Structure 1
Amino acid sequence: MAEYEGVDALLAAITDEPLPEEVQDDAAFMAEHGSALADVALLKEQLTLIGDALADSTETGEPVARTARKPRRPRGARKPRNRRPSAGPRKRFRRPDALAVALGTFAVAVVASMVVGMSWLIAHSGVGGGDDTASSARADSDNKDAGSADRTGGAESSLSAPGYIACSRLIAEGTVAEVEPVPGVAQDRITLDVARYYKPDKGKDQVTFVMNEDVDPRLRKGDHVLVGIPRNAASPDIWSTREKDIARERAWILKALPQSRGLACE
């Protein structure tokens, strides 16, 4: 796990602490910090699902019905001759409370998720992401506002192209190497073989991020794609898969890159 003058990438992602300005110029550190942000966001979402399920089980819990006792025979009353004498009182067994069983099960699930999740965070590194936002971005010829013909949400239109790049932690182009469903949530974990970095200038051969399953277009293995992920975000807010869209995105990105280097993201 990367550490830059006392600043740990994983710890900074977990505590959500702001990064010093000098650290943000370190491409390797920012790539690892981005991966940690994605993994932390994914873990939080899974724990939230478990917590919601636990709350639902508490609200719908019903007490276990008890069997009413038979009325006792008054003292002195004779037993009918045609009945056999009782063999004695039967032992009463109480079924475990259904709510208690549910609470125990979810408690074990929460602990297991935390252990597995933290182990997974420590073991994995690379640029990552989490929430879905947009499918593609296109630039205006004057101010290069982020937008797209096949976008479903995404980059704020008030940002100019240089401003968008300045406020992005990753802009890269490559081929989707793997798409894995994330257990427990309707998301895909995308592994991208990077062919070209735009921001930062260089990085690892592969980056990872997560996207919702219902985005359009949904990335698939083998797709050629250009993605942009904002600073402190877990997933892309722009991605393009059609070649003509990729060419258009590439053009405004290359044109805006020199201006973006002198801008501060606010």
Structure 2
Amino acid sequence: MSGNGQGAGEADEALSAALADAPPQASAGDEAHRAYAAARADVDLLRTQVRLIGDALAARPAPPAERRPRGRRTALAWCLAAVVAGVAGIGGVVLARDAALGGDSAVGDAKRTLEGVVACASDIAEGTVREVTPTGEPGDLRVVMDVDRRLKPAGGAPRLAFTIHIDDDHDDVAPPPEPGSRVLVMVSVLPGEPVDLYEGAADIASARAWMEKALAASRGLPCESDTA
């Protein structure tokens, strides 16, 4: 009994640290680092699902602003209690999303799941930013990166170019990546869908973890728009 209580306490501590972006010190044991990495992956999954819920409830395409992990601490309070209490993990969030959409699983198309998001990705790549230049459109920047790791498609070109949008009207929008920065990006085939861009070793590792899992489950899934 005491062992179970101790394990739950350690899990709660790891979750709290992940939410605060406070990784264990280098002197902490391997178990602490593994628990933190697992908690970070869970938190990123929850944040992504919450964003998808918001997009679905808004009944409109996602706004043309890049979704970035830094500073993403909004809309999590309602689901955090469920996580700490051990309510079915990510499955609990999926159920909450379906309930918010009316409780009918038929309305939850592929685009509203992590697997569906990945199915709609043309490129999922990791590498180093080579250049960032204005496109001439307000807020739009063209990013070119040297790719050294591709999740989708397998193989692919060693260089990837995409456009991100920075909305200066919102204070919580992270600045664009700088040349030399290491990033993980997911580019959608859907028109107007913003690029998911992750920076920093911890954010990249946790995003890569859920993307790899969703990629395996997305094989054979069609790409469906929220508005389809």
Greater fraction of residues in helix: 2
**Range class of TM-score, shorter chain:** 0.3 to 0.5
Bigger Rg over Cα: 1
Q: Which protein has greater RCO, CA pairs closer than 8 Å, 6+ apart?
A: 2
Q: TM-score, normalised by structure 1?
A: 0.41
